[in-house]
Amino acid sequence: MQITVWQDGKSYSGNAACGERLTDILRRLGAYLPAPCGGNGRCGNCRVQFTHGAPPPSDSDLQKLAPKQIAEGWRLACTAYVRENGTVVIPTAEQLLAEKSAPQQAAGAVGIAIDLGTTTLAAALVDVTSGQTLAVQTAINRQRSFGADVLSRIQSAGNGHAEALRSTACNDIDALVAALLQETDTPPAQVEQVVIAANTTMQHLLCGLDTTALGVAPFTPVTCSPKPTPYSELTGHATVSCPVSFVPGASAFIGGDVIAGLIACDFDRTTQPRLFMDIGTNGELVLAEGDRYMATSVAAGPAFEGGRLSCGVGGVAGAICRVSIRTPNVQYETIGHQPPLGLCGTGAVEALCALRRAGIVDKTGRLSPLFPEGYPLAEGVVLTQADIRELQMAKAAVLAGVTLLLQRNGLGATDVGKALLAGGFGTQLNVPCAQELGMLPRELSAEAVGNTALAGAIRCLCRQDELARAGTLAAKIEEYTLANDPAFEQTYMQAMEL
């Protein structure tokens, strides 16, 4: 029998055996679906919709889904066993979030998963028995006042601000924890564990470890896997009383956030070549072929997160995130449909792509001299020549990294079954625009997979064997340093072209 899957506007089909579980079919086809409970029918996060060929509802379907949803063909993929040809639609993260927007309460033990990012933090309160996410809180990382990227924070720590950086991270984390408990009216004693996924620099700063060696070759971390620590001892706060565990990392550049992402995507449970990409100020790339994993890091700079752009802002309400141009008219969308206050990374990529299509920017990145002060996108928001150069350097770093990583393994873009785009920028990135600008190879099949660092931390929170699995995966990763490759400079310069 044949199963057709629709996800993010794309479709792909494959053969399936009668009685085969849908989760296994989707994994074989390369479709990403969250499963914090490990596919045991407890969390309800793997819901999909059959437009035809829906199997009879399982006991888990009857518990997790409303009667109307079941009648409309919704099922949990982990408990759906196909019996005939069918078509399955995988909902977007936004659709799932809309269904679960109201905070819920847990009857039993809960835990907190945290994604400690360079720019933003995200935390989820989770029922550790069912794997169900009860509430989510996000915040800006206030360490940004010490620098926008990890290198500037390493320098700041070396200049006597290490304790200030540590306490800032601790306060940010505790504020999220307190907000989660307040939102769900959860007693602190109910929290049994906290799991944190963070890049290696953020991990060191939070734990008060010396970051000096992270900023100079050969970039040696004190540890990639800090030992579990009591919450009060780590943060200096007594909001909860439980141990804090860290998702282990692999190196100075491939941290626990990347490993958590690989776990969330079941990166180690498919055989076809695949590429994981977490693109931000620092872009991490992991290529898997069979049981071999090679990773590299690219210094994209902060442009993809709105940094160093004349009107750049983060992914906040009012940020222009979508742009199209039909000269002389500009059409745009803002986050939250608020009045425009600046340009975020995805909006900047779309603006540059639109200007290139309109011939206002040439292939070298030169902006038409008719716009010496920058091209106006909205009142008070422009894209300048300097902005274009920042975006060119960022996209060239990513393309050079992907190109050389594939070449080093004897692969081309068409050999990769799926490229998974993680993180806030990757999730919202217009892939065709990115390919048109030469940020991603045109032949690469790419799919946005959301905040995989948080999703992976949730997996590790709910199942202790997932932390061990993360450690095993991290130990298998072979690091490839782009700066040591003689071909990097030429590849990078060629990738500057639009």
How far is the C-alpha of 464 from the C-alpha of 478, rounded, in Å? 25
> Of 246, 279, 304, which marks where a domain is finished?
246
**Residue 228 and residue 244 in contact, taking contact as beta carbons nearer than 8 Å:** yes
Where does the pLDDT of residue 284 fall: very low under 50, low under 70, confident under 90, or very high at 90 and above? Answer: very high
* Distance between start and end Cα atoms, the chain: 44
Would you say residue 149 lies in a domain?
Answer: yes
Whether the per-residue pLDDT at 393 is higher than 60: the answer is yes
Is residue 427 scored above 90 in pLDDT?
no
The more confidently predicted of residues 19 and 377 is 377
Q: Do residues 179 and 235 share a domain?
A: yes
| Residue 69 belongs to domain with CATH number | 3.10.20.30
- The stretch 253-278 carries a mean pLDDT of 93
Question: Is 204:152 a contact under the CB 8 Å cutoff?
Answer: no
Whether 34 and 71 map to the same domain: the answer is yes
- Dihedral angle over CA of 342, 99, 246, 32, nearest 10: -90
Is residue 161 scored above 90 in pLDDT? Answer: yes
Say yes or no to pLDDT of 103 above 60: no
pLDDT at 101 over 50: no
Assess whether pLDDT exceeds 90 at residue 12.
Answer: no
pLDDT score recorded for residue 456: 94
- Which of 177, 211, 246 is the C-terminal boundary of a domain? 246
Same domain, 357 and 237: no
Highest mean pLDDT among 276-280, 304-308, 409-413: 409-413
What range defines the domain where residue 43 resides? 2-99
pLDDT of residue 221: 97
Question: E strand or H helix at 382, and its extent?
Answer: strand 381-383
| 124 and 214 belong to one structural domain | yes
Bigger pLDDT: 358 or 36?
Answer: 358
Q: Quote the mean pLDDT of the chain.
A: 90
Structure tokens at 222: 């004190």
Strand duo 292-298 + 283-289: pairing: antiparallel
Same-domain check for residues 310 and 445: yes
Does residue 259 belong to any structural domain of this protein? no
Domain match, 31 and 90 both: yes
Give tens-digit pLDDT for 58-72.
878 887 777 778 888
Predicted pLDDT at 229: 97
CA dihedral 340, 343, 346, 350 (to 10 degrees): 90
In sign, the C-alpha dihedral spanning 298, 301, 306, 309 is negative
Same domain, 370 and 432: yes
Reply yes or no on whether the pLDDT at 94 is more than 60: no
Distance CA 84, CA 458 (A): 33
Task: Name the strand (E) or helix (H) holding 51.
Answer: strand 47-52
Residues 117 and 84 in one domain: no
- The reply to whether 166 falls in a domain is yes
Would you say residue 9 has pLDDT above 80? Answer: no
Q: Is the per-residue pLDDT at 360 higher than 90?
A: yes
Pick from 428, 427, 385, 426: nearest CA to 402: 426
What single letter denotes the amino acid at residue 208? G
Span 108-147, pLDDT tens digits:
899 999 999 988 899 999 999 888 889 988 888 999 889 8
Percent of the chain with pLDDT over 70: 94
| pLDDT band per the 50, 70, 90 thresholds, residue 105 | low
Comparing 14-28, 154-168, 219-233, 387-401, the range with the smallest average pLDDT is 14-28
Q: What is the pLDDT of residue 57?
A: 83
DSSP string for 260-322: HHHHHTTGGG--S-EEEEE-SSSEEEEEEETTEEEEEEE---GGGGTTT-TTB--S-TTEEEE
- Residue 336 in domain: yes
* Angle subtended at Cα 157 by Cα 155 and Cα 162, rounded to the nearest 5 degrees: 175
The DSSP line for 192-241 is EEEEEEE-HHHHHHHHT---GGGGSTT---S-SSPPPEEHHHHHS--S--
Tell me, yes or no, whether 283 and 144 share the same domain: no
Instruction: Supply the CATH number for residue 209's domain.
Output: 3.30.420.480
Q: What is the pLDDT of residue 363?
A: 96
- What pLDDT was estimated at residue 35? 65
pLDDT tens-digit profile of 72-86? Answer: 888 999 889 888 888
pTM tops 0.95: no
Asked whether residue 294 falls in the same domain as residue 372, the answer is yes
Q: What pLDDT sits at residue 474?
A: 97
| pLDDT at position 32 | 67
Instruction: In whole angstroms, give the CA distance from residue 358 to residue 460.
Output: 47
pLDDT recorded at residue 481: 92
Mean per-residue pLDDT, 196-224: 96
How many domains would you assign to the chain? 3
Same domain, 315 and 439: yes
Are 323 and 418 in a shared domain? yes
- The answer to whether residue 44 sits within a structural domain is yes
In a domain, 256, yes or no: no
Residue 252 lies in a domain: no
Q: Identify the three-state secondary structure at position 326.
A: strand
Q: Which of 99, 130, 145 is the last residue of a domain?
A: 99
Tell me, yes or no, whether 71 lies in a domain: yes
CA distance 3 to 82: 9
